[in-house]
Structure 1
Amino acid sequence: MSGIIDNKGLMMYWAFDEGTGASALESISGTQDDVQYVFNQAEFTESCTPPWRQGVSGHGLLFDGYSSYIAHSAHGEAGDGRLEYLSALSIGVWVAPRTYEWGYESKLAAIVNQHNMNNKQGFLLGMYRHGSWSFQIGLEGGDWKELWSPDGYELPKNEWSYLNAVFNGNDGEVKLFLNGSEIASTAVDRGSRMAAAADTDLLIGRNNHSSKLAEVFNLHMFGGIMDELKIYNRALSNEEVAASYREVLDSAPGGTVPQVKYDDIKLDRAPLLADRHRPQYHVSPPAHWMNEPHAPIYFDGHYHLFYQHNPQGPYFHHIHWGHWASKDMVHWRDLPIALAPEKDQLAPDGIWSGSATYDADGLPVLFFTAGNDSASPNQSVALARSTYSEDGDTDLVKWIKHPELLIVQQKGMGAFGDFRDPFVWKDEDVWYALVGSGIEGGGGAALAFISQDMLHWTYKGPFFEADIQKFPYLGPIWELPVFLPLGSDKHGVSKYLLLVSPVGVGADVEVFYWIGQFNKHELSFIPDQEEPQLIDVGDFHFTGPSGMVDPKTGRNIVFTIAQGDRTSELEYQSGWAHNGGLPLSVYLREDGRLGMEPIKELQSLRGEKLLSLRDKSLAEANDLLQDVLGDMLEIQLELEPGTAKQLGIKVRQSPDGEEETLLYYDLNEVMLLVDRTKTTQHPGEKCSGIQGGKLELLGENLKLHIYLDRSMVEAYANGLKSLTTRVYPSRKNALGLEIWGNGELLVKSMEIWEMQSVW
């Protein structure tokens, strides 16, 4: 790429044309710089080198947004000191951002920098909120100069942009260029020189002074593809900048900037498929962070499910809506991010949880919690529409936000400042909404709203609130209300299901529910029993509920997040955090209790049947189990207690039994339990102890329907309760099974299948 502009004064040049490996050549000094990347030496998956992609010229390097960067030493090489006390500096680089950072502590996500802002030394070129960008430089005499991109010149995601920053101390000016054209300038004193950050390495893709999150994650990292980074010790002219931009265009097919292929820049699931702890038939993002899945909806033959997602890394921060689609709620496809924070007055700081329903024309709409930290309260309800009616997009990839907030919390409307997670449904020609909040000075509550047109909403008061004095574990705030019709009971009375997730001081963060009646006139809920129940008796691994009535089958389907159980250090090392639980069908049983079972479509994942037995003793069953191994299994088991008062099954057992997880039922305590005291010997893993909860079997045998999916363990007992937990064995051979009891028992039946990945 030489010959059009004069490369005199070119101090550093990374062409990023390697296309493979874990180093990048700085061609002026001949230095091979290491590319830092979390999977260069992976602990839980197969090691691999950083991803290289198509660049504007040859290859480019894809930075993952949280672990990828290059450190170019400022010491001990030919040309040492070249960035000290320069009277001119020019930087040119092509970038295709995949994500924008939130801008914590007002710091830039660095593209390239060697700076110390406190000492007003060095330089920094980087991105900020919503695609804005800046060049900043420290000058002799203690001045720190910042030049920002003007409005309208933000960097688009998933597209190439050519950035140039030029410092000309002799003429006393700093300039920014975008795609070959000057877009901003500012004056400095004539004769200015840059004050060097001499003891600081030059970093590409990481801020020299990044903030730490959870003492592990460096914020202010660049996420996206980078190519053709050049640094000069002279001021390039406007003509030279324009020529360097045209040089790429002239060499590209059609004379235009190459398009970034979505498959080149999207988060890549492939490196995680071999992760021995990452579930493979549970729904999950391609990589990085998720919390609750939500807003399920069926449209044009496909189910759509969205999820809270940080595409920047495996940590909780700048939340977007991720998106999957499926024909059967089992085999999911990753789709582009549906909703992202933008430079607007709706939700610049986060797109939080919500729900989906249909508009008057039967087209999908999304209701979401709009996060705006400059507003009070900083949580409101907003809406986005699919572009399906304009472009026939059956994958529902594109969504347009309604320009105004729909519901803004007022004083007296719940606990002021806590107002989120709208659950919206349409009944005939009326729309109803529940919003999670609380009662000032009281406990959590779901607030009720009604609308005739889906855009203008009337507050109807609390839909339901519980007595926090009687049930303090229900907390001061409720999140993620879900309301589903269960049909009529045996007396012909229409019953409904209300789910909530308590948070705040004293809250037990689990999914609680009530069965009761719906007063549509008053827009209120009357529970059959005051005390709430749990769907799942695991400890914080079945949370974040969402739900829908499946139009295809009429079933009530509930989705949840299956929380991980790991430290931030291990989430950094693994590159992912959390996944969804299996979709549950919930229904009203003949006895009035809530029934639940994983959806039948999961049977499509069954591979080889590994075992089928009937009426065996404990010893006989375990003898047949000796050769049955796996960490992706479906198990159906019925145990008749006999003399045993505790009975169940050990899973993920190593041959010596030093690692194992015990799922069991205690007849005396009437509890379904999991014992994880021997689950793992890995020194960094957290999972341990015994968890569980009440389960009334009323004389029935114990019937367990168990799904093992690497670190996921889900046990469904007698169609009444589930127990979801996480296991991270250190032994790769912790794959065995063993029936267990503290007395004689009969294995009435047992069937085991291998399960296949959906990815």
Structure 2
Amino acid sequence: MNGLIDNQGLMMYWAFDEGTGASALESVTGTQDDIQYVFNQTEFTESCTPPWRQGVSGYGLLFDGYSSYIAHSAHLEGQHGRPEYLSALSIGVWVAPRTYEWGYDSKLAAIVNQHNMENKQGFLLGMFRHGSWSFQIGLEGGDWKEIWSPDGYELPKNEWSYLNAVFNGDDGEIKLFLNGSEIASDTVARGSRMAAAVDTDLLIGKNNHSSKLVEAFSLHMFGGIMDELKIYNRALSNEEVAASYQEVLDSVPGGIVPQVKYDDIKLDRTPLLADRHRPQYHVSPPAHWMNEPHAPIYFDGYYHLFYQHNPQGPYFHHIHWGHWVSKDMVHWRDLPIALAPEKDQLAPDGIWSGSATYDADGLPVLFFTAGNDSASPNQSVALARSTYSEDGDPDLVNWIKHPEPLIVQQKGMGAFGDFRDPFVWKDEDVWYALVGSGIEGGGGAALAFMSEDMLNWTYKGPFYQADLQQFPYLGPIWELPVLLPLGMDKQGENKHLLLVSPVGPGADVEVFYWIGQFDKQKISFIPDQEEPQLIDVGDFHFTGPSGMVDPNTGRNIIFTIAQGDRTSELEYKSGWAHNGGLPLSVYLREDRRLGIEPIQELQSLRGEKRLSLRDKSLADANDLLKDVQGDMLEIQVEIEPGSAAQFGIKIRKSPDGEEETLLYYDLNQTMLLADRTKTTQHPGEKCSGVQGGKLELLGENLKLHIYLDRSMVEAYANGLKSLTTRVYPSRKDAMGLEIWGTGELLVKSMEIWEMQSIW
């Protein structure tokens, strides 16, 4: 690509045409620069080189947004015998951003830089919030000069843009060009010189002075594809910039910039499929961070589920709505991000949790928490509509936000400043909404709203609130309220299920619930008993509830996030954080207790049946279990305790028992427990100790339905409680199973299946 442009003064040139490998050639000096990438050398998955993709010319390099960058140790060389001062500098580069950073500490996500802003040295070309971009340089004499893209010239996601930045010290000009045309200019003093950052490496894709988050993550990194990076120590003219852009157009079919294929730029889950700790039949993002899955909805033959997501890396920051679609709530397909923060006054700072329902025409709509840090409060309830039509957008990929918030918190409307996670449903011709908040000076609360047109909402007061004195663990604020109909009980009363997630000082962050009645006249909830219950007795691994009534079967389905249990350093190394729990069906039992069970569709994942036994002693059962190994299993077991006061099953057990996790029931304490004191010997893993909670079996045998999916363990006991936990064994041979008890017991039945990946 050097034919039309005079390459005099070309100091550095990365064509990114390797197409493979972990280095990139800087062709002017012939230097092979290492590409830093988290999966170059791995601990938990198969090592692989950085991803290369189709570029504007040949190949381009795909930067993952949190670990990928190039460090080049050569320094800029000025003219006129003063190497540390440059009279001119020009940069040209093609970029296709996959995502934008939030702009923490007002720093740029660097495309290329070699700068020290504190010393007013060097240069920085990078992106900022919502696709804005800037070129910044340090001038001799201690001045720092910035030029920014004007409104309307932001860099679009998933499309190629050609950026040029030109500093001409002799003429006193600094300019920006987009796609060959000048879009901004500013003046500096004639005869100005750029002061080189002589003690700093030139970095591609990473800011020289990145801010750190949770000690492990460098912010301000470029996420997307980069190609054809050139740096000159002279000022390119407008004609030369235009010619360099035209040169690409002339080299491609049709004379237009090639489109970026979604499959080329999307997050790729392939490197994570071999991760020995990453679940393979639980729903998860392709990579990086997720919070709770939410807003489940069924439409036109498909289930849609969204999730809180940071596309930049596996850390909590700048939240978007990820999106999956499924025919059966088991086998999911990744779709593009549904909602992202944009340059508007609605939600520029985050798209937080919400729910989905249907409008008056039966079309799906999304209600979400709009994050706007320039507003007070910075949380409001907003809406987005699908672009679905009979002929287009069958996957509900595209959503258009309503331009204004629908519900803005006023003083006296709950705890001011905490107002989020709308749960919206339609009942006949009326829409109802619950919003998570609290009572000023009191406990958590779900606030009630009503609308006849889905756009104009009336506040109806607290739907239900906590008695913080009586139940301090319910905390000062509630998030993620969910209300589901349970139907009639034996006394003919119509029951509902209310779920909440407490947060704030003193809160136990779990999923609490009440069974009670929905008073439609007062739009309030009357619990059968004031004390809340837990669905899951694990510790912070079953959180973030969302729910829906499945139109196909009438079942109430609950989705949760299965929190990980790892350090930020291990999440960095792994490239992912958290996944969804298995979908649960919840219902009102004959005894008026809440029944829970994994959805029946999960049986479609069963592979080979590894074991089936009936009425075996402890010793005989374990003899049959010796040959059953695995970290992706479904296990159903019923144990009659006999003389044992404690009994259960060891999973992920190494042959010598040095690593193992014990799931067991304690008859005397009536508790379901997980003992993780021997789960792992890895010095960096956190999982340890004993966790669990109350489970009244009322004389029944223990019936465990266990789903083991690499680090995920979900144990469902007698259709009443679950215990969700995480295990990260260090040993690859920690794959065994063993029935355990403190006395003689009888294994009434046991069945084990291998489970298949959904990906």
Give the alignment's TM-score, normalised by structure 2: 0.99
Aligned residue for 2:559? 559
Q: Tell me how far 1:82 sits from its aligned partner.
A: 9.0
Aligned residue for 1:120? 120
Aligned residue for 1:254? 254
CA distance in 2, matches of 1:359, 1:535: 31
CA distance in 2, matches of 1:129, 1:552: 42
Q: Which amino acid aligns with 1:125?
A: L
Q: Tell me how far 1:75 sits from its aligned partner.
A: 6.3
Q: Tell me how far 1:466 sits from its aligned partner.
A: 1.5
Q: Which amino acid aligns with 1:209?
A: H
CA distance in 2, matches of 1:75, 1:256: 35
CA distance in 2, matches of 1:445, 1:253: 60
CA distance in 1, matches of 2:168, 2:390: 49
1:407-556 correspondence to structure 2 within 5 Å? 407-556=407-556
CA distance in 2, matches of 1:10, 1:532: 69
Distance 1:238 1:245, change over 3 A: same
Q: Is residue 11–residue 76 contact of structure 2 (8 Å, CA) maintained in 1?
A: no
Q: Tell me how far 1:394 sits from its aligned partner.
A: 1.2
Q: Tell me how far 1:84 sits from its aligned partner.
A: 2.5
CA distance in 2, matches of 1:165, 1:552: 57
Q: Tell me how far 1:83 sits from its aligned partner.
A: 6.5
Give 3-state SS (helix, strand or coil) of 2:569's partner.
helix
1:699 aligns with 2:699: yes
Aligned residue for 2:102? 102
Q: Tell me how far 1:78 sits from its aligned partner.
A: 14
CA distance in 2, matches of 1:266, 1:204: 20
CA distance in 2, matches of 1:506, 1:406: 32
CA deviation digits over 1:178-217, x for unaligned, max 9?
Answer: 0000000000000000011100000000000000000110
Q: Tell me how far 1:389 sits from its aligned partner.
A: 2.8
Q: Is residue 659–residue 734 contact of structure 1 (8 Å, CA) maintained in 2?
A: yes
CA distance in 1, matches of 2:459, 2:268: 44
1:59 aligns with 2:59: yes
CA distance in 1, matches of 2:75, 2:223: 27
1:182 aligns with 2:188: no
CA deviation digits over 1:450-500, x for unaligned, max 9?
Answer: 000000000000000020000000000000000000000011110000000
Aligned residue for 1:660? 660
Give 3-state SS (helix, strand or coil) of 2:210's partner.
coil
Q: Tell me how far 1:74 sits from its aligned partner.
A: 3.3
Distance 1:694 1:237, change over 3 A: same
Distance 1:518 1:380, change over 3 A: same
Q: Tell me how far 1:392 sits from its aligned partner.
A: 2.4
CA distance in 2, matches of 1:687, 1:52: 36
Q: Tell me how far 1:3 sits from its aligned partner.
A: 1.5
CA distance in 2, matches of 1:82, 1:702: 81
Q: Is residue 77–residue 86 contact of structure 2 (8 Å, CA) maintained in 1?
A: no
CA deviation digits over 1:344-369, x for unaligned, max 9?
Answer: 00000000000000000000000000
Q: Tell me how far 1:614 sits from its aligned partner.
A: 0.1
Q: Is residue 74–residue 199 contact of structure 1 (8 Å, CA) maintained in 2?
A: no
Gaps of 5+ in 2: none
1:72-87 correspondence to structure 2 within 5 Å? 72-74=72-74, 84-87=84-87
Q: Which amino acid aligns with 2:135?
A: F
CA distance in 1, matches of 2:556, 2:262: 35
1:224-623 correspondence to structure 2 within 5 Å? 224-389=224-389, 392-623=392-623
1:222 aligns with 2:222: yes
Q: Tell me how far 1:77 sits from its aligned partner.
A: 11
CA distance in 2, matches of 1:521, 1:613: 54
CA deviation digits over 1:636-692, x for unaligned, max 9?
Answer: 000000000000000000001000000000000000000000000000000000000
Q: Which amino acid aligns with 2:413?
A: M
Aligned residue for 2:742? 742
Aligned residue for 2:45? 45
Q: Tell me how far 1:405 sits from its aligned partner.
A: 0.5
Q: Is residue 78–residue 84 contact of structure 2 (8 Å, CA) maintained in 1?
A: no
Q: Once structures 1 and 2 are overlaid, which stretch shifts more, 385-394 or 299-308?
A: 385-394
Give the alignment's TM-score, normalised by structure 1: 0.99
Q: Which amino acid aligns with 1:693?
A: G
Q: Tell me how far 1:391 sits from its aligned partner.
A: 5.2
1:204 aligns with 2:194: no
Q: Is residue 76–residue 196 contact of structure 2 (8 Å, CA) maintained in 1?
A: no
CA distance in 2, matches of 1:85, 1:405: 51
Distance 1:82 1:125, change over 3 A: farther
Q: Is residue 74–residue 198 contact of structure 1 (8 Å, CA) maintained in 2?
A: no
Q: Is residue 147–residue 175 contact of structure 1 (8 Å, CA) maintained in 2?
A: yes
Aligned residue for 2:131? 131
CA distance in 2, matches of 1:276, 1:39: 14
Distance 1:514 1:82, change over 3 A: farther
Q: Is residue 290–residue 579 contact of structure 1 (8 Å, CA) maintained in 2?
A: yes
Q: Which runs of 4+ in 1 moved over 4 A?
A: 75-79
CA distance in 2, matches of 1:504, 1:408: 22
CA distance in 2, matches of 1:702, 1:611: 19
1:157 aligns with 2:178: no
Aligned residue for 1:674? 674
CA deviation digits over 1:273-304, x for unaligned, max 9?
Answer: 00000000000000000000000000000000
CA distance in 2, matches of 1:396, 1:76: 49
CA distance in 2, matches of 1:492, 1:84: 85
Give 3-state SS (helix, strand or coil) of 2:194's partner.
coil
Q: Is residue 50–residue 62 contact of structure 2 (8 Å, CA) maintained in 1?
A: yes
Q: Is residue 387–residue 399 contact of structure 2 (8 Å, CA) maintained in 1?
A: yes
Q: Is residue 584–residue 598 contact of structure 1 (8 Å, CA) maintained in 2?
A: yes
Q: Is residue 74–residue 200 contact of structure 1 (8 Å, CA) maintained in 2?
A: no
Q: Is residue 92–residue 163 contact of structure 1 (8 Å, CA) maintained in 2?
A: yes
Give 3-state SS (helix, strand or coil) of 2:624's partner.
helix
CA deviation digits over 1:122-176, x for unaligned, max 9?
Answer: 0000000000000000000111000000000000000000000000000001000
